[in-house]
Chain A
Amino acid sequence: MAADAELDYGLNGRLKEIATVEQNDESRHALSASELWLFVGVSVAIALVGVLVLAL
């Protein structure tokens, strides 16, 4: 029954709840700029490990 109630919670209710949560979220972003650059940096570093393997 609880699961049915969850599924019955309609689109409007869900959007409203998600909007409220997102507005109250202090970060206001999925990823901060520093996290984004960290992710890019780690990806580049891993690719460079590949270059290193090739050079060995």
Chain B
Amino acid sequence: MSQRLDKAGSHERTGMDSASLGSLPLLKRERIWNGTDFTGVNVSLAIATWAFLVGGSTALLVGFQQGIAAMIIGNAIGLSFMILASVVASQRHGIEQYTLLRPVFGLIGVSVLVFTIILITEMGWSSLLAIMVGRAVTQVSNSTFGTDFGPESLMVTVFALVAIAVSWWILSRGPVTIGRFNKFIAPGLIVVTVFLMVFLVLNTSWEALFTAAPLAPFEDDRLNFMLAVEFNAGVGVSWYPVMGSLARLTRTPRAALWPSYGGLLIATLIAQIVGMAAALTLGDSDPTVWMLPFGGPVLGAFILLFIAFANITSTSSIVYSTVLAIRQASGKLLSRVRWMWLCAGFFVLPAILAFFPAFMYQKFMLFVTLSGAFLAAMCGAIIADYFVMRRQRVSLPDLYRHRDASAYHYNGGVNWAGMGAVIVGAAFYLMIYNPITLETHPLFGYITASLPAAIVGGIVYYLLATLLYKRRGVGDFVEGKSSPRIEEQA
């Protein structure tokens, strides 16, 4: 069995190069971050241009005070179950989250989720960031060279495609290069945020800010507020695809749990609130429109170009763990494909979407809430599996074994309880709140849609997993079985 495990390990490592750094479990001595380091990492992630975009989009629905409330409530909800589902187990075992999903969804089930929910979520975000680069650069061009490129012009697409190409280049160089760029970008974005804050304080009164009307609200005030809460909850849960891969680098559970929650929450709130205030002051939700009126032609253009570059490095950061997940989830299929070509493959759809800048901006909220529906249900199932059914224990060798040698093979590599939980949880979300038609159930006004979707996902998982697997002794749900198994096999 040991030989089989080594074979599995070599398979996991096939194609591993300095760019991808592989996916083997990290040992205690290889963990590099304490609580302070990890707080810094999370603050750097959260103070990104997408926070301005979310703040600006929230201003479409609600005014300043309601917006702050919606951001606090939404992020508190979304981040809490996202962190429980991704950070805790990855920190404990030193394993990134997609390998740890195998007990919940099965090897094939994880592949299905990675190639649908995760991939679409990350492709959407990266195409949006690239379009934002296009808009930022065309704004600079209009201001400096007197051109007249509109926010939906072909030049926006051209610069978005250049941004994607540069993101690909950075990503193909690996996490070390990404980290090198982020060392400059993260402090720079903090400076930009402070700059926006100072400008707002100097040029806008609190009274004007608190009385500013939302930019494009619906008629129903209560619906506007709940949509803003749900949108922010969706943003909170959308951190899922990257957090586990980062948390495994922390040394202790305390260095992972609170820094990820506090770092993401506080930094997100600050950047989003500044973004919302800027949007309400200037009457436009697009962050690339704010900088020239705020900073003037020279400083504004410089900030816009900086934001453009920050978007490129943000894209590389979020895509890194997704491409790593794609490689693992594909089994043998993509294991021999070179890292740079795998990264190039990822960017094909974002490049196509870059031809539709207006569509991507208009559908931003829809995209975030829809992906949030599935991610929330996924988180519910993961929490039920890890905390309730397994009591925080998994058989690590079984995570890496193939086919029926693994306790997590289930039926044909799919844990149907997990898949069923995601489908039912997401369906429940759409029943309470349909982001396409904007139809809502009265419950939506009180409990949002993400939270009940996660709870329903968890309950369905518990019932189905008990019925289909635990009662039949399938899936290694029996408490305490995992540790002796490691002793036996290793």
Identify which of A23, A30, A44 contacts B88 (C-beta below 8 A): A30
CB pair B8–A11 under 8 Å, yes or no, is yes
Tell yes or no: B243 within 8 A of A by CB: no
CB pair B80–A49 under 8 Å, yes or no, is no
CB pair A12–B490 under 8 Å, yes or no, is yes
Q: In the complex the two chains form, what is the Cα distance from A53 to B9 in whole Å?
A: 52
CB pair A15–B397 under 8 Å, yes or no, is yes
- Main SS of chain B's interface residues? helix
CB pair A19–B73 under 8 Å, yes or no, is no
Q: In the complex the two chains form, what is the Cα distance from A6 to B65 in whole Å?
A: 52
CB distance from A19 to the nearest CB of B (A): 4
Tell yes or no: B201 within 8 A of A by CB: no
Assess A50 versus B76: contact at CB under 8 Å? Given A15-B486, A16-B490, A18-B25. yes
CB pair A53–B65 under 8 Å, yes or no, is yes
Identify which of A12, A23, A43, A56 contacts B76 (C-beta below 8 A): A43
Tell yes or no: A51 within 8 A of B by CB: yes
CB distance from B129 to the nearest CB of A (A): 27
Q: In the complex the two chains form, what is the Cα distance from A16 to B392 in whole Å?
A: 18
Q: In the complex the two chains form, what is the Cα distance from A16 to B261 in whole Å?
A: 31
Identify which of A14, A42, A44 contacts B27 (C-beta below 8 A): A14
Assess A54 versus B265: contact at CB under 8 Å? Given A11-B9, A16-B486, A30-B89. no
Q: In the complex the two chains form, what is the Cα distance from A18 to B2 in whole Å?
A: 16
CB pair B486–A31 under 8 Å, yes or no, is no
Tell yes or no: B483 within 8 A of A by CB: yes
Tell yes or no: B257 within 8 A of A by CB: yes
B77 to chain A: closest residue by CB: A47
In the bound complex, residues from chain A placing their C-beta under 8 Å from that of B265 are 46
Query: How many interface contacts (CB-CB < 8 Å) are there between A and B?
Result: 104
In the bound complex, residues from chain B placing their C-beta under 8 Å from that of A23 are 483
Given contacts A15-B396, A43-B76, 20 further A-B contacts (CB under 8 A): A7-B22, A11-B10, A11-B400, A15-B397, A29-B392, A30-B91, A30-B253, A30-B392, A31-B392, A39-B84, A39-B261, A42-B261, A50-B69, A50-B73, A51-B69, A51-B73, A53-B65, A53-B69, A53-B72, A56-B65
Cβ contacts A to B, 29 pairs, < 8 Å? A11-B5, A11-B10, A11-B24, A11-B25, A11-B400, A15-B400, A15-B490, A16-B486, A16-B490, A17-B27, A18-B27, A19-B487, A19-B490, A22-B93, A22-B483, A30-B253, A30-B392, A31-B257, A36-B387, A39-B83, A39-B84, A43-B77, A47-B72, A47-B73, A47-B77, A49-B72, A50-B68, A50-B76, A53-B69
In the complex, the 7 A-B pairs of residues with the closest C-beta atoms, listed nearest first: A11-B9, A50-B72, A50-B73, A30-B92, A43-B80, A19-B486, A54-B69
Residues of A within 8 A of B (CB): 6-7, 9-12, 14-19, 21-23, 29-31, 35-36, 39-40, 42-44, 46-47, 49-51, 53-54, 56
